[in-house]
Amino acid sequence: MKPEYAKVDIPSGEGYLSIRETMRKRTLHTVCEEARCPNIAECWGSGTATFMILGSNCSRGCRFCSVTHGKMQPVDPDEPEKVAEATRNMGLNYVVITSVDRDDLPDQGSGHFARVIKALKMEKILVEVLIPDFQGRIDLIQKIVDEEPEVIAHNVETVRRLTPVIRDHRAGYDQSLSLLRYVKQARPSQITKSSIMLGHGETDEEVLSTMNDLRDAGVDVLTVGQYLRPSKMQIEVVEYCTSERFKKFEAMGYELGFSFVASGPLVRTSYRAAEAWTRRRISNA
């Protein structure tokens, strides 16, 4: 039986409807909708959203993800300006940008991603990015680093043993760690972030090992959440974790030295993103 936290309310409210209308008018996408995030009502209701650029279709097929796979779409050259305009009109000063994987493009969309960051920076907006792995290519990762977003996030998603089970074959546990390590080495002041999903059958020891690997890669901020099956098309949930388990990993995260840890059933990578950035800055002051 599903726990109560897995029964999410239908999105509603003035804030939610306003953001949805803004996105529709500019033909923009959000990962909140495409990935069926359980926090959409809370985040949109408070006037925050995570923009998903480079189209709504992904070139990969991770078994946990509800984003449409295949039938890749043309990249909208006006998207950087559209995102900046939408953010300005919503009165945001902190925005999260993510994207689908675009293995079909020569630069895998890295140049377009960088242009979106640049457009937002010109608006004096604080930017957090959740980036794909760009197949581990340093030259493409460097394009993102060069734009100096406030936070660069990339999700390891799960423990080493389960990576081949739930992630696309082009992804990789060590590839994700290498990306995060490179970002920190290339720009030591850069805040980095990653996320782990629970509920796929991982052991506590495996999660702790993954947390250690992320800290060794220099990751500053960690989020830990429960995998909730978006539809029958995705891999089944093996286990619904208790609140106590999430609290344990939060405590462990701080003991390991993460500057901010958000751990709970409905936590996702961009959940309380601005708060995580603020607390990280305060801890470094």
**Domain CATH number, residue 215:** 3.20.20.70
Task: Tell how far CA 106 is from the center of its chain.
Answer: 23
Q: State pLDDT tens for residues 256-282.
A: 999 999 999 988 776 555 555 555 554
Q: Supply the range of the domain harboring residue 16.
A: 4-284
pLDDT of 59 > 60? The answer is: yes
pLDDT of 63 > 90? The answer is: yes
pLDDT of 28 > 60? The answer is: no
Q: How far apart are CA 60 and CA 68, in angstroms?
A: 9
pLDDT score recorded for residue 115: 98
Contacts of residue 193, Cβ cutoff 8 Å, sequence gap at least 6: 128, 151, 152, 153, 154, 219, 220, 221, 222, 223, 269, 276
Across the strands, what pairs with 19? none
Number of domains present in the structure of the chain: 1
Picking from 104, 106, 87, 103, the residue whose alpha carbon sits closest to that of residue 95 is 87
pLDDT score recorded for residue 45: 46
pLDDT of 11 > 60? The answer is: no
pLDDT score recorded for residue 276: 54
Q: How far apart are CA 264 and CA 39, in angstroms?
A: 12
pLDDT score recorded for residue 12: 47
Picking from 252, 148, 242, the residue whose alpha carbon sits closest to that of residue 192 is 148
> Where does the pLDDT of residue 7 fall: very low under 50, low under 70, confident under 90, or very high at 90 and above?
low
Q: How far apart are CA 16 and CA 48, in angstroms?
A: 9
pLDDT score recorded for residue 282: 47
Q: State pLDDT tens for residues 106-127.
A: 999 999 999 999 999 999 989 9
More confidently predicted of 46 and 202? 202
User: In the numeric block, which tokens belong to residue 195?
Assistant: 């996320």
Q: What is the mean pLDDT of residues 209-234?
A: 94
